[in-house]
């Protein structure tokens, strides 16, 4: 190859390299441009996204604050509704006591048969109105979070025993067979006996009410928890051969004011509050109520909960001791007692004086508030005080505490007389030094029984009726 050829070859090679270099440079520039454009687009999209996110966050925050405000408003409304109901029910009970008490007095006077029937209807209506008010009071107390449960030892078997006994006459009246499978021995557990009694009574009352024929069987179970040996698994089950319920009905009967079908009220009476209260109470005890039922065949309602095992209570408790029961008026001594009635409401004063008069106590002293009661008690001649809890100036609790501090030859027997039917109230009365407890409306029978306990110096709060 000549030197010229070699030169020409090199020039061509150089030219190729140059072109290739130019091509690659162009391609790189294009790629860089594209990259820059993409990253600009990405940046813009990113910016837009973060603006939207910030806006969204603000909207969520605003919604949340609106929601929590609405929730707070709803909670406050529900609470004030429950408080309103609690106050109203309490206020309604007081005049209703007057109505019922007067009807009771009237029924003990000379009446024609027709008048007698009319008074009986008056009493019946008053009593069911009172039961309704008590139910509403219960429900509103639970909903307002004011329901506190006791935790005292009680014997479950004895408790169910006494509830079943209460329903034996009713079952007999309507021709139902009431079977109670009472296990032998006893089952001492911790808990709120009053509430267990309330639930059991309600379930048993429903079973009898909704069973036109056949029978009702009550069973209890108390088993030791296999893991936590000091705990017991408890169960009260009530089976009936009554009208039964469809699945749909089973789903709604535990709500307040719900009945299985709208004709229930007409046929069987009631307001549909019983089971709603029972369910809430059972849940407050950490348990529940289950139902198994078939339309036309019958139902089984089971209350179950867990409780701490308890030692047999040494002290006299409502479930342990044989209940003193309402002593019949005839078995009661009629020798007048020196009685002081501390009560501010004039209708109630009149009523209680009339009832006492019927029981042979004519010379009764009166005090319009706690301070007057204290001054009267200071004289030392009072044997028994019927003490209202809520009074102006000084309430019944303060008056009792003050009386207990008096140096008297003999302390009077003090019986709380109150429209408050709750366990907490009974406890407060006991703690203040009262000996006995009568919830209003007081009737002749219960008053007479309380006077008799006072005469014998029996210090025992009567179980809530
Ligand atoms: N053992 C039962 N058999 C059939 N139906 C029942 C039974 N127990 C309850 N029910 C149905 O459940 C409904 C709700 O019962 P709940 O005890 O709450 O109300 P109630 O008995 O109608 O009224 P209240 O108890 O307030 O006086 C009843 O109306 C009835 O339809
Ligand atoms: Mg009921």
Choosing among 3.60.15.10, 3.30.565.10, 3.40.640.10, 3.30.413.10, the CATH entry for 153-308 is 3.30.565.10
Q: Whose CA is nearest to atom 20 of ligand 1?
A: 272
Which uninterrupted H or E stretch holds 413?
strand 413-418
405 neighbors 377 (Cβ within 8 angstroms) = no
Question: What's the pLDDT score for residue 332?
Answer: 53
Strand 298-308 to 231-240 pairing: antiparallel
pLDDT in tens, 217-264: 999 999 987 777 789 999 999 999 999 999 999 999 999 888 887 776
Q: Could you tell me which residues come within 8 angstroms of residue 126 by beta carbon, excluding any fewer than 6 positions away?
A: 96, 99, 100, 103
435 neighbors 412 (Cβ within 8 angstroms) = no
Residue 181: pLDDT above 90? yes
Q: Which ligand is nearest to the CA of 254?
A: 1
Q: Whose CA is nearest to atom 4 of ligand 1?
A: 244
- Cα(77) to centroid of ligand 1, in Å? 29
Residue 332, helix vs strand vs coil:
coil
Q: What is the spatial distance between Cα 416 and Cα 187, in angstroms, rounded to a whole number? A: 31
303 neighbors 199 (Cβ within 8 angstroms) = yes
277 neighbors 134 (Cβ within 8 angstroms) = no
Structure tokens at 329: 């008026």
140 neighbors 89 (Cβ within 8 angstroms) = yes
Mutate to test the pocket of ligand 1, among 275, 290, 294 (most ligand atoms within 8 A of CB): 275
Percent of the chain at pLDDT above 70?
92
Q: What is the spatial distance between Cα 448 and Cα 197, in angstroms, rounded to a whole number? A: 24
Question: What's the pLDDT score for residue 88?
Answer: 81
Average pLDDT over residues 396-403: 96
Would you say the C-alpha torsion 403, 409, 413, 417 has a positive or negative sign? negative
Q: Whose CA is nearest to atom 19 of ligand 1?
A: 272
pLDDT class of 80 with cuts at 50, 70, 90: confident
Mutate to test the pocket of ligand 1, among 134, 136, 208, 274 (most ligand atoms within 8 A of CB): 274
Question: What's the pLDDT score for residue 423?
Answer: 62
Q: What is the spatial distance between Cα 363 and Cα 211, in angstroms, rounded to a whole number? A: 50
Average pLDDT over residues 374-396: 93
- Cα(369) to centroid of ligand 2, in Å? 39
Question: What's the pLDDT score for residue 445?
Answer: 86
- Cα(159) to centroid of ligand 2, in Å? 20
Which residue from 191, 152, 223 is spatially nearest to 307, judged by alpha carbons?
191
Q: What is the spatial distance between Cα 304 and Cα 82, in angstroms, rounded to a whole number? A: 27
Mutate to test the pocket of ligand 1, among 249, 256, 270 (most ligand atoms within 8 A of CB): 270
Q: Whose CA is nearest to atom 28 of ligand 1?
A: 259
pLDDT in tens, 309-337: 998 865 444 444 444 444 333 445 667 88
- Cα(244) to centroid of ligand 1, in Å? 10
Can you tell me which residue has the tokens 């009554």?
242
First to last CA, the chain: 132
Question: What's the pLDDT score for residue 328?
Answer: 39
Average pLDDT taken over every residue of the chain:
87
Structure tokens at 266: 């007409």
- Cα(203) to centroid of ligand 2, in Å? 7
Average pLDDT over residues 388-415: 93
Q: Which residues line ligand 1 (CB under 6 A)?
A: 135, 206-207, 210, 240, 242-245, 253, 259-260, 264, 270-276, 299
Structure tokens at 353: 């004086």
Domain residue spans of the chain: 89-143, 153-308, 329-455
Which homologous superfamily is 329-455 in?
Answer: Response regulator (3.40.50.2300)
Atom of ligand 1 nearest to the CA of 206: 8
Structure tokens at 89: 């029910």
DSSP state, 411?
P
> What does pTM read for this prediction?
0.66
Question: What's the pLDDT score for residue 390?
Answer: 86
């Amino acid at each position: 190859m000549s030197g010229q050829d070699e030169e020409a070859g090199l020039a061509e090679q150089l030219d190729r390299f140059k072109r290739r270099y130019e091509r690659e440079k162009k391609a790189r520039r294009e790629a860089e441009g594209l990259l820059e454009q993409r990253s600009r687009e990405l940046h813009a999209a990113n910016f837009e996204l973060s603006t939207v996110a910030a806006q969204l966050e603000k909207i969520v925050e605003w919604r949340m604050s609106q929601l929590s405000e609405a929730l707070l408003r709803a909670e406050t409304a529900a609470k004030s509704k429950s408080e309103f109901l609690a106050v109203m029910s309490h206020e309604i009970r007081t005049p209703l006591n007057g109505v019922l008490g007067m009807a009771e007095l009237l029924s003990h006077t000379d009446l024609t048969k027709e008048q007698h029937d009319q008074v009986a209807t008056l009493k019946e209506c008053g009593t069911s109105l009172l039961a309704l008010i008590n139910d509403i009071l219960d429900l509103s107390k639970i909903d307002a979070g004011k329901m506190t449960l006791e935790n005292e030892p009680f014997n479950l078997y004895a408790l169910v025993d006494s509830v079943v006994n209460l329903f034996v006459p009713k079952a007999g009246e309507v021709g139902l067979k009431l079977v109670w499978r009472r296990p032998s021995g006893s089952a001492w557990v911790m808990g709120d006996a009053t509430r267990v009694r309330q639930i059991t009574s309600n379930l048993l009352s429903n079973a009898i009410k909704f069973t036109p024929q056949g029978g009702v069987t009550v069973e209890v179970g108390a088993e030791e928890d296999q893991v936590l040996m000091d705990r017991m698994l408890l169960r009260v089950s009530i089976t009936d051969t009554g009208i039964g319920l469809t699945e749909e009905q089973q789903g709604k009967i535990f709500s307040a004011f719900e009945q299985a079908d709208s004709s229930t009220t007409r046929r069987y009476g009631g307001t549909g509050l019983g089971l709603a209260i029972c369910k809430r109470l059972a849940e407050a005890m950490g348990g529940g109520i289950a139902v198994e039922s078939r339309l036309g065949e019958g139902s089984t309602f089971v209350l179950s909960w867990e409780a701490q095992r308890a030692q047999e209570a040494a002290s006299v408790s409502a479930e342990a001791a044989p209940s003193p029961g309402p002593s019949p008026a005839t078995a009661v001594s009629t020798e007048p007692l020196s009685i002081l009635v501390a009560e501010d409401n004039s209708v109630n004063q009149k009523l209680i004086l009339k009832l006492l008069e019927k029981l042979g106590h004519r010379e009764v002293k009166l005090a319009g508030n706690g301070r007057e009661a204290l001054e009267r008690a200071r004289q030392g001649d009072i044997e028994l005080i019927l003490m209202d809890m809520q009074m102006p100036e000084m309430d019944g609790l303060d008056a009792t505490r003050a009386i207990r501090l008096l140096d008297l030859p003999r302390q009077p027997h003090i019986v709380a007389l109150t429209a408050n039917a709750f366990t907490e109230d009974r406890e407060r009365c006991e703690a203040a030094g009262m000996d006995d407890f009568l919830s209003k409306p007081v009737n002749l029978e219960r008053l007479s029984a309380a006077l008799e306990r006072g005469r014998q110096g029996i210090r025992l709060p009567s179980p809530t009726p």
